Amino acid sequence: MERIWAPWRMTYINNAAHQEGCIFCKAWEERDDRERLVLARSGHSLIMMNRYPYTNGHLMAAPARHVADLNDLSDAEMLDLMQSVRHAHNLLKAAANPQGFNMGINLGKAGGAGIEDHMHIHIVPRWNGDTNFMSVLGDVRVIPDGLLETYDRLAEELKAGA
């Protein structure tokens, strides 16, 4: 039997029930960017890494204001959020050279939102062949790089002008 070690998942398991407050609001207010995995901020939104990613480089763009629905955003907030999505997309293209992307918004619990009350957009880089038998047979995802290593690489790319 093959074993896949993922010790960072224990943090998720131990803290999942204990988390209070909104991760996006905390990230906006606390300004400890590396700890919160925030890569960029703009006037009305932020870009941060997903702590429990679908694949390496899985980013999220979220409005600064705590809103649950697209209709709750002002025109300025909507434009800024979409510019952040484009910024995240271009960052990943420069840093990770993906062959494609999945981008999406899950609104409400029935829509699959893990964080229902603060809407956000997922930006997920994809590569040909990045799906394999692990997901199909074992309901397991293999993430080949650590979060902080990926964060540091993306942060360096931002400094270089991506």
Residues annotated as catalytic (active site), given as ranges: 120
Q: Quickly count: other Cβ atoms within 10 Å of residue 8's Cβ.
A: 13
Distance (Å, rounded) from C-alpha 90 to C-alpha 97?
10
Distance (Å, rounded) from C-alpha 147 to C-alpha 153?
10
Alpha helices in 16-161 (DSSP H): 23-30, 33-36, 75-96, 133-138, 147-159
- Reduced to 3 states (helix: H, G, I; strand: E, B; else coil), residue 46 is strand
Contact 87, 40 (CB under 8 A): yes
